[in-house]
Structure 1
Amino acid sequence: MDYYTLVILGALIGFLVLAALLLVPVYRFLQREDEAAHRFTVEYLRRQQTAHPNGTDDEASSEPPATQP
């Protein structure tokens, strides 16, 4: 093999390793965020709907509205 071929192969392998080192954490972060968004929309909304079926807060509905004289 020529010297140029070794340099090209080394540069290509180095570039691929560097790209993997930089992109794998980004990919893992995006996967975690996607899963968190899915959990939020399914579980959180179901829990909120069962806790407050009429759409109001417990604190706001128990207190009478404040009026000024």
Structure 2
Amino acid sequence: MVKLKVYADRVTQPSRAILIFCKVNGIDFEEVRVDLSKGHHRNPQFQEINPMRQVPAIVDGRFKLFER
């Protein structure tokens, strides 16, 4: 089974909200840190996940969910 991946930078409130939600509800997930201050959200690999280049973003198998 593929584990849910949450792409987040804990500096942002929306990222912290998603991480807290997953922990409180017992959702098994992997946190993938995206350091906005170092421009990690601008790399091509992250752009494939979220074309808007914003965090948080969630990937569950082939399904991708992100804020626009």
TM range (shorter): under 0.3
Structure (1 or 2) with the larger CA radius of gyration = 1
Which has the bigger relative contact order, CA under 8 A and spacing at least 6? 2
The answer to which structure has the higher helix fraction is 1
